[in-house]
């Protein structure tokens, strides 16, 4: 897939609209689901996807082929989501040191990405509590948790997307899980 994406990006850069349309086709659903999970708002998620592809199209000549295309496009979409989250009301801070516990993080209870508006209404109370807990995370933790557990990116891939050291990503995943665990212990 990586070679296909790189080839499509090169063709799109040369003005091949069909190649760009294929890139859109490959990524629009994945980006929408990621943005929807981060923003919990269908319209904002659609806006982020549209803005992502506008930026990709406008900046194709800046695409660094040493990066996976998926890393580059996720970086753009993630940054757009973070910008929107920052403009919202402030959320909890997780800067306090946390205890070193491992265990259930609740992501196994989140439904798959193929939900419809109708099934959205049927989320169980448990899932709703988990979504609320995730939504209450500060953007820097929410982003890492979404990329790790929803998009199932590796720590290295998240490091590449967010342009941060892997050690920072590990810390944020740990603190995010700890926060969710504490939040869920009181609700579940």
CATH 1.10.10.10 domain extents, the chain: 107-187
CATH 1.10.1740.10 domain extents, the chain: 2-87
Give the pLDDT of residue 53.
94
Does pLDDT of 29 surpass 60? Answer: yes
What is the token pair recorded at 71?
């890393």
Does pLDDT of 7 surpass 90? Answer: no
Binned at pLDDT 50, 70 and 90, residue 184 comes out as confident
Q: What percent of the chain has pLDDT over 90?
A: 29
Mean pLDDT of the chain: 78
Give the pLDDT of residue 100.
34
- Within 10 A of 115 (CB to CB), how many other CB atoms are there? 14
**What is the dotted CATH code of the domain comprising 107-187?**
1.10.10.10
Between residues 119 and 162, the one the model is more confident about: 162
Burial class (CB in 10 A: 0-12, 13-18, 19+), 162: buried
Q: For residue range 108-117, list pLDDT tens digits in order.
A: 334 444 555 5
**Coil, strand, or helix at residue 188?**
coil
Q: Any idea what the Cα angle at residue 25 is, between residues 24 and 26, rounded to 5°? A: 90
Mean pLDDT of the region 100-129: 48
- Within 10 A of 93 (CB to CB), how many other CB atoms are there? 10
The highest-level CATH class for domain 2-87 is mainly alpha
Q: For residue range 129-181, list pLDDT tens digits in order.
A: 777 787 788 888 888 888 887 777 889 989 988 889 999 999 999 998 898 88
Mean pLDDT of the region 65-73: 85
């Amino acid at each position: 897939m990586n070679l296909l994406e790189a080839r499509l990006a090169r063709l799109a850069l040369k003005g091949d609209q069909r190649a760009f349309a294929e890139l859109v086709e490959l990524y629009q659903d994945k980006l929408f689901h990621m943005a929807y999970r981060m923003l919990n708002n269908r319209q904002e998620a659609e806006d982020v996807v549209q803005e992502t592809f506008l930026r990709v199209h406008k900046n194709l000549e800046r695409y660094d082929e040493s990066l996976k295309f998926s890393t580059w496009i996720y970086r753009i979409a993630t940054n757009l989501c973070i910008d929107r989250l920052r403009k919202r009301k402030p959320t909890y801070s997780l800067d306090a040191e946390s205890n070193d516990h491992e265990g259930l993080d609740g992501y196994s209870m989140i439904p798959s990405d193929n939900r419809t508006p109708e099934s959205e209404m049927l989320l169980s109370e448990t899932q709703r509590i988990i979504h609320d807990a995730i939504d209450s995370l500060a953007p820097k933790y929410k982003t890492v948790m979404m990329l790790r557990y929803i998009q199932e990116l590796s720590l290295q891939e998240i490091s590449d997307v967010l342009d941060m050291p892997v050690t920072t990503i590990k810390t944020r995943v740990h603190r995010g899980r700890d926060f969710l665990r504490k939040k869920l212990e009181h609700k579940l």
